[in-house]
Amino acid sequence: MSEVHVAMMNLLWPRSGIARQWFYDYWSGAHTQISSRLPGIHQYFEHHLDPDLGEGMPGIDAWTQSDTNGFFGDAEITFANERDLMEFAANLNPLMQDEQNVFDKTVSYQAPGGFTRSLKDETLNQSPNGNLGDQLKFMIYVQSADGISREDWRNAFIKRFAQPLRESEHISKVRYRLVNFYDNDAVTLLAPNVSNFEAPENQFDGCLEVVFPDAMARHRFVGTSQHGQSRAALAELTRGVTCHRAIRTFTVYNHGEITLAGLRTPQMAAQIEALGARNQVGEENYRLMLGEHTFFPRYHP
């Protein structure tokens, strides 16, 4: 059984004219403080992506590169049921109003629960907050080959690409999100001054997350039978691939509960954890932070 009803794959293009680090910092800071207050979320992982480092994924030389690059973020949000998804969508206006501050374009794909799954997860921290240490996390975004139905392609992708990687002793995590077709005409959650259009020929059909525990494990993976199988399978099953490395992952929600990073921003959560400030994570402080203030001076520009 899948642990979620649906998973979003929200790909994010930085606003023109702002530095990449500003994009990362605003998204994980100010923007996240809005999204983390929205109802209905089961899990929320923010993946900060780097396409250049993505070229370090073993086997990438055998895959046809897609022309759909330009995004540097993946907001992975899951929902436990349809009711929670609808409640989230009904309360999105504050987030939509803020998107124009940091994004030029967002494309929000949905992966049904049956096609969202972690086949393997031996990572030490399932709610990471920031840098991933020695781990190398690759996000492989794929476009399905022509002439095959979506159902047949999904089954082949799981069986021939994802499952062999799960069997590798050198890989600590394998997770897939195989998404539905993105219908531009059906998009209703529109942010001002932000594009939500993606041409059908540029759309992705899924993403596979692959984590190596360290650089040595990645090197040991090369030349194994699983490496050979994955190279051949993806070359045959796709017409285009974009591979990024996640340089940071922030966990805002997990299993329906807000994390310290979601409550206080990832940056502040890192300070609290580094100093071991146990009082900051106590029940009394959580109630204080989640409560309403009796007075807040309005900002007037």
Predicted local confidence at residue 298, as pLDDT: 57
pTM: 0.93
**265 in a domain, yes or no?**
no
Structure tokens of 22? 């500003």
Into how many domains does the chain fold?
Answer: 1
Determine the pLDDT at residue 289: 80
Q: How far is CA 153 from the centre of its chain?
A: 22
Sequential pLDDT tens for the chain (301 residues):
357 899 999 999 999 999 999 999 999 999 999 999 999 999 999 999 999 999 999 999 889 888 777 999 999 999 999 999 999 999 999 999 999 999 999 999 999 999 999 999 999 888 888 889 999 999 999 999 999 999 999 999 999 999 999 999 999 999 999 999 999 999 887 899 999 999 999 999 999 999 999 999 999 999 999 999 999 999 999 999 999 999 999 999 998 888 888 888 888 888 888 889 988 888 888 788 877 665 555 554 5
Nearest to 188 by CA among 111, 96, 81: 96
- Domain assignment present for residue 294? The answer is no
Name which of 29, 11, 32 is nearest 21 in CA terms.
29
Asked whether residue 276 is domain-assigned, the answer is no
Tell me how many degrees the CA angle 5-107-62 measures, rounded to the nearest 5.
Answer: 90
Helical H segments across 129-190, by residue range = 150-157, 163-166
Please, how many CA atoms are within 13 Å of residue 85, restricted to the half-sphere of its CB? 15
In a domain, 128, yes or no: yes
Residue 166 forms part of a structural domain: yes
Q: Is residue 292 situated within a structural domain? A: no
Closest by alpha carbon to 164, among 119, 108, 110, 213?
A: 119
What's residue 124's pLDDT? 86
- Whether residue 281 is contained in a domain is answered as no
Query: CA angle at residue 244 from 105 to 222, to 5 degrees?
Result: 165
Instruction: Report pLDDT for 296.
Output: 55
In whole angstroms, how large is the CA radius of gyration of the chain? Answer: 19
Residue 274 lies in a domain: no
Provide the pLDDT for residue 1.
36
CATH number for the domain harbouring residue 119: 3.30.70.100
pLDDT at position 295 is: 58
- Tell me the residue range of the domain where 23 lies: 6-258
| Sign of the dihedral defined by the CA atoms of residues 213, 227, 166, 220, in that order | negative
